[in-house]
Amino acid sequence: MKKILALTLALVMALGLAACAPKGATSGTDVPPAETPDETAELKIAIVTSPSGVDDGSFNQDNYEGIKNFIKNHPNATVKAVQEPDITKAASAVAEIVADYDVIVTPGFQFGPITTIAQENPSKKFILVDSFPTDPADDKETIVVDNIYAMQFAEQESGFFAGVAAAMETKTGKVAVVNGQAFPSNVNYQYGFEAGVAYANAKFGTKAECVELASYAGIDVTNAKIGGNYIGGFSDPETGKVVGKALIAEGVDIMFVAAGNSGNGVFTAAKEAKDVKVIGCDVDQYDDGVSGDRNIVLTSALKNMSINVERQLNAIADGTFKGGNYLLKADTDSTGFVFTEGRHQLSENTIKALNEVYELVKNGTIVPPSNFSEETVENFPGLA
């Protein structure tokens, strides 16, 4: 396993996740339900979250839905939700309950340090979401642990789909991406979005411009200046509204929002404006876009966590579980966009274009840039 750049320490202590807003449909990527419930699996499952709980309507809740879907088909399995408000105590919260459960699901970068706990409890299984386990001897590096299935997602792919959609649907020719903090997952979304706009301009004849506010430009975990629009945190809807209004004042009519609770402020700014739409992230945010007799959500870029949590619980139940560190992409339906009827406002032409680029991303013809990648917004496979 290749060792990751020296950024994990900063991520482990990070408060934010790239999660965005309430749950919803997942564009036909759900795992098909079993024909009949499996009465044999009696797994005791815990999900530990911090600082928000499993009812956050966003990142944590999507993971929880994967557990609940598993239990629907394995009614003898049970789940306990544990919330640790102090993010610095995330791993300690896992240690306190590990003896009582067969499987522990841990959503978020802050759970990277569960390595030692897993190694000391080899009979337990762990599902680690949005992070890889860190090396106890050097927490700047990641390692593979046999009883941890660790998943990260290619957010740049979902961001790419959002960028293509924004470029094709904008009326003003000005679009923007708004993030919480410049952690790699958020920078992935930013670069993917900007690359999607560049691709649409090059291939579909659009003339969209990505607008950036200099006062909200991002600096990533290596202290590199990356531009974009960063609110500065994931729990600041007031500043989110300020950023949203400032972008709207610059003529932006479509904003891709990856900012957690801070993004709610961007949504509010869009609702208070005229002819402005947003693109949600991580999960389907269409219900959150309702504003009187209209809806401001154009579509949502997806990071399909629930189906992957459910897949690993099924693997544990049937004995095929294999620990490791996995980067999940479109080829496993782990990234995508919402096109379910009644859950988007995309034109037929845009959906046709998105389906085309989705297949090209899925087969590797298009490789959107990400934080630390050799690919850039101006030069990535598939653009030329």
Class of domain 8-154+305-332: alpha beta
pLDDT at 332: 94
pLDDT of 41 > 80? The answer is no
pLDDT at 148: 98
Band of residue 2 on the pLDDT scale cut at 50, 70, 90? very low
Digit-coded pLDDT (tens) for 80-89: 999 998 889 9
Please tell me which residue, 250 or 235, carries the higher pLDDT value. 250
Q: What is the residue whose two structure tokens read 């408000």?
A: 85
pLDDT of 22 > 50? The answer is no
Residue 155 CA to residue 133 CA, distance in Å, equals 19
Relative to beta strand 174-179, strand 254-258 is parallel
Average pLDDT over residues 65-82: 97
pLDDT at 249: 98
pLDDT of 24 > 70? The answer is no
Q: How is the chain split into domains, by residue range? A: 8-154+305-332, 156-302+336-362
pLDDT at 19: 43
Class of domain 156-302+336-362: alpha beta
Q: Comparing 8-154+305-332 with 156-302+336-362, is the CATH topology the same?
A: yes
When mean pLDDT is compared across 68-72, 184-188, 211-215, 350-354, the lowest value belongs to 184-188
Q: DSSP secondary structure string, 93-136?
A: HHHHHGGG-SEEEEESGGGGGGHHHHHH-TTSEEEEES--PEET
Q: What is the pTM of this model?
A: 0.84
Of the candidates 305, 285, 235, the residue with the CA atom closest to the CA atom of residue 59: 305
Give the number of other Cβ atoms within 10 Å of residue 87's Cβ: 17
Digit-coded pLDDT (tens) for 135-172: 999 888 999 999 999 999 999 999 999 999 999 999 99
Q: Please tell me whether residue 183 adopts helix, strand or coil conformation.
A: coil
Please tell me which residue, 8 or 294, carries the higher pLDDT value. 294
Give the number of other Cβ atoms within 10 Å of residue 141's Cβ: 16
Q: DSSP secondary structure string, 344-377?
A: ----HHHHHHHHHHHHHHHTTS-----TT-S--S
**What's the chain's average pLDDT?**
90
E strands, the chain, where?
A: 44-49, 78-83, 103-107, 125-129, 134-135, 138-142, 148-153, 174-179, 209-210, 218-219, 225-227, 229-230, 254-258, 277-282, 290-291, 294-295, 297-303, 324-328, 335-337
Residues 6+ apart with CB under 8 A from 360: 366, 382
Residue 191 CA to residue 370 CA, distance in Å, equals 6
With a pLDDT cut of 90, the percent of the chain lying above it is 80
pLDDT of 16 > 60? The answer is no
pLDDT at 87: 84
30-60 core/surface letters (b: 16 or more CB in 10 A; e: else): bbeeeeeeeeebebebbbbbbbbbbebbbbb
User: Do 243 and 229 form a contact (C-beta atoms < 8 A)?
Assistant: yes
Residue 362 CA to residue 366 CA, distance in Å, equals 8
With a pLDDT cut of 70, the percent of the chain lying above it is 90
pLDDT of 96 > 70? The answer is yes
pLDDT of 30 > 60? The answer is no
Q: Please tell me whether residue 208 adopts helix, strand or coil conformation.
A: coil
pLDDT at 381: 98
Residue 255 CA to residue 257 CA, distance in Å, equals 6
Of the candidates 219, 220, 260, 268, the residue with the CA atom closest to the CA atom of residue 242: 268
Helices 155-169 + 348-362 axis angle, to 10: 150
Structure token pair of residue 260: 């957690």
Band of residue 4 on the pLDDT scale cut at 50, 70, 90? very low
User: Do 243 and 215 form a contact (C-beta atoms < 8 A)?
Assistant: no
Q: Please name the amino acid found at residue 383.
A: L
Average pLDDT over residues 225-243: 95
Band of residue 108 on the pLDDT scale cut at 50, 70, 90? confident
Average pLDDT over residues 118-123: 98
- Burial (0-12, 13-18, 19+ Cβ within 10 Å), 257: buried
